Chains A and B, each alone.
Chain A
């Protein structure tokens, strides 16, 4: 089997990972409609990367370009060390793709579907049967191995779909909205699958509209909106980008409440429950400064809690009116 090797060892000095997927100024438009407006990505090998965005943001187009299904109008993209434009076969030999719609042969059984993949990967009869058997068991479809895929439930179809993607031992796996339309239980199973793949050293490129999914799985998240990356970072970094972090102080004594309100004139008052909301970035230094000011004034709070915005807040703020100005605006207010 022609297999592509990463250009550099997986982990150098335990620090720097080689890049599995990178793009520079990737562009694509259909007629007048610009779908991708200059995408720059850099995904280290062995990590999970989530491309998060609303419908029509360009997520599927990005996956289609990176998986050699369509060509970009401009810019460059490399996957597993191969350029998608000049060496598509090199890319194809290194990747596995599971799209939004299960890519199986409904007229064949689960086992036959896997053997079809093994044949197309030229694994040989014995190796092919071995792989098929392993994958049927791993994805819990061994008992329906001889049933036609047409009769499978949505969750079983996705599992067979992923199993087919894995027959070739891909280095980079693209999962385009892998849990869209799945019930919560099947979704959890899919998440576990993704985690086990990464534990095996594979790089996963995932698109999703679910924030929770990106939060749960991804090492890094890029938010795509209107064909541009409007934010990128870890889930925590993204959450920190958004205003709205605050510390909530609650008091039992109305006098202390009033004195505290005088110490923090900018705080939002909650007179009924004797609670103050003090804005802050949720970081340790800000927290320490806040507590020092309380101490200096000799005020004791009954309890306090730190609130950070969840990814939903980030998502809505970044993609709110569909323009890139939103993101810039958010960054501006942070400074």
Chain B
């Protein structure tokens, strides 16, 4: 077997381990799907009338505006849970066993990241199901749905690498579980729930330049036919940038890291 075959084999072994964890303990995975679903229900049924009216529609129109934003938030938040899984492994003895075995070093992180992306995508499907039930209607073609799934997967991949790095720098699982809050909160300060134009000037400036706004706008365009403009490219650039930073950071942390 070549080095690459080894790398693929080892990563698949690690991936199977992580998926086994996820299937056996679905509470973590379901938890990351529940949060966006509860947000969706809260915003549609509690705030939907007012926000919808403010946006010139009503409660019936609001799910179409909201769902892409909820999906982005759910994917970002779900991806961040990787840091907890990585940190848990790092603080337990098993990581030292992996490190003293003749296996591809990167497979540990690769297994975590791919496993997390799969879980996040599964919970995104659940969110879409609930969204359809509360009145979300998409006129997207199959190709647009595919592009939407691709965008969500790219976001999940990028945020997961960042999250993995945060898991590596966390000394305890508790601190690892606090760090994702920042990323989970970011979509609120963008166009996920209300248009950025309706915000105060300082916040509007921030909303326009933070990564989740173009991502939300791109997904909204793909699913509900609003204008995308440059946001598609900007989103992909953000994904590539975040993924690269997360990957390089994780790799250097993992390779330099010793036992803790």
Give the interface of A toward B (CB within 8 A): 2, 64, 67-70, 89, 92-93, 95, 97, 99, 101-108, 112, 116-117, 119-122, 164-165, 168
Offer 27 A-B interface pairs, CB within 8 angstroms, sorted by A.
Answer: A2-B102, A64-B258, A64-B259, A68-B99, A68-B100, A69-B99, A69-B100, A70-B258, A70-B259, A92-B100, A95-B100, A97-B97, A99-B96, A99-B97, A103-B92, A103-B93, A103-B96, A104-B94, A107-B25, A112-B20, A116-B13, A116-B17, A117-B101, A119-B13, A119-B16, A120-B101, A168-B101
State how many angstroms separate the Cβ of A4 from the closest Cβ of chain B.
Answer: 9
Is B171 part of the contact surface with A, judged by Cβ < 8 Å? Answer: no
B87 to chain A, nearest CB (A): 15
Interface size class of B (residues with CB under 8 A): 20 to 34
Q: What 6 pairs across the A-B complex have the smallest Cβ distances?
A: A103-B93, A103-B97, A92-B102, A93-B102, A101-B93, A119-B13
Question: B102 contacts which of A89, A108, A164 (Cβ < 8 Å)?
Answer: A89
User: Could you give, for residues 219-260 of chain B, a 1 whenever the CB lies within 8 Å of some chain A CB and a 0 otherwise?
Assistant: 000000000000000000000000000000000000000110
B1 pairs with A122, CB closer than 8 A = yes
Chain B proximity of A254: nearest CB distance (Å): 65
| B10 contact set on A, CB distance < 8 A | 120
B103 contacts partner chain A, Cβ-Cβ < 8 Å: yes
* In the bound complex, CA of A70 to CA of B99 (Å): 10
Chain A residues with CB under 8 Å of B16's CB are 119
Give the distance to chain A from B114, nearest Cβ to Cβ, in Å.
16
Chain A positions within 8 Å of B98 at CB level: 120
Contact indicator B103/A120 (Cβ below 8 Å): yes
Residues on A with C-beta less than 8 A from B102 are: 2, 89, 92-93
CA distance A108 to B259 in the complex (A): 22
Most B CB within 10 A of own CB, among A101, A107, A112, A120: A120
A93 to chain B, nearest CB (A): 4
Which residue of B is nearest A90, CB measured? B102
- Chain A min CB distance to B22 (Å): 10
Q: Tell whether, in the assembled complex, residue B101 and residue A92 are in contact, meaning their CB atoms are under 8 Å apart.
A: yes
Chain B residues within 8 Å of A92, by CB: 100-102
Q: How far is the CA of A305 from the CA of B6 in the complex (A)?
A: 64
Q: How many angstroms from the CA of A95 to the CA of B97 in the assembled complex? A: 11
Contacting pair B101 A102 (CB below 8 A): no
Q: A69-B96, A92-B100, A120-B103 are in contact. List 11 more A-B contacts (CB 8 A).
A: A70-B258, A92-B102, A95-B100, A101-B93, A103-B95, A105-B17, A112-B20, A116-B17, A117-B101, A119-B13, A120-B13
* Smallest Cβ-Cβ distance to A98: which chain B residue: B97
Q: Total number of A-B contacts with CB less than 8 angstroms?
A: 63
Q: Chain B residues with Cβ under 8 A from A89's Cβ? A: 102
When distances are taken between beta carbons in the complex, the residues of chain A under 8 Å from B204 are none
Task: Enumerate chain A residues within 8 angstroms of B96, measured Cβ to Cβ.
Answer: 69, 97, 99, 103
In the complex, whether B21 has a CB less than 8 A from a CB of chain A is yes
Within 8 A of A (CB), among B62-103: 92-103
Among A97, A104, A122, A164, contact of B6 (Cβ-Cβ < 8 Å): A122
- Most A CB within 10 A of own CB, among B16, B20, B100, B258: B100
Query: Which residues on the B side are within 8 Å of A2 (C-beta)?
Result: 102
Assess whether A122 is in contact with B259, with CB atoms less than 8 Å apart: no
A107 (CB) vs chain B CBs: closest residue:
B21
B9 contacts partner chain A, Cβ-Cβ < 8 Å: yes
> Which residues from chain B contact A121 at a C-beta distance below 8 Å?
101
- The CA of A101 and the CA of B96, in the complex, are separated in Å by 10
B residues 10-28 near A (Cβ < 8 Å) are 10, 13, 16-17, 20-21, 24-25
A69 CA to B96 CA in the complex, in Å? 7
For A105, list chain B residues within 8 Å (CB). 17, 94
> Within the assembled complex, what's the spacing in Å between the Cα atoms of A209 and B225?
71
Q: Is the CB of A107 within 8 A of B93?
A: no
Nearest CB in chain B to that of A104: its residue: B94
Identify the closest chain A residue to B21 (Cβ). A107
User: Which B residue sits closest to A118, measured CB to CB?
Assistant: B13
Report Cα–Cα, A97/B97, bound state, in Å.
7
A68 to B98, CA, bound (A): 11
Instruction: Give complex CA distance A104, B97 in Å.
Output: 8
User: Which residues of B are found within 8 Å of A164, using beta-carbon distances?
Assistant: 97
- B17 adjacent to A102 (CB under 8 Å): no
Alpha-carbon gap, A122 to B8, bound state (A): 12
Min CB gap A63→B, angstroms: 10
A122 and B9 in contact, given A68-B100, A92-B100, A92-B102 (Cβ under 8 angstroms): yes
B residues 137-166 near A (Cβ < 8 Å) are none
Smallest Cβ-Cβ distance to A105: which chain B residue: B94
B9, B20, B98, most chain A CB atoms within 10 A: B20
| A20 CA / B9 CA spacing, docked (Å) | 30
Which residues of the partner chain A approach B25 to less than 8 Å between Cβ atoms? Answer: 107
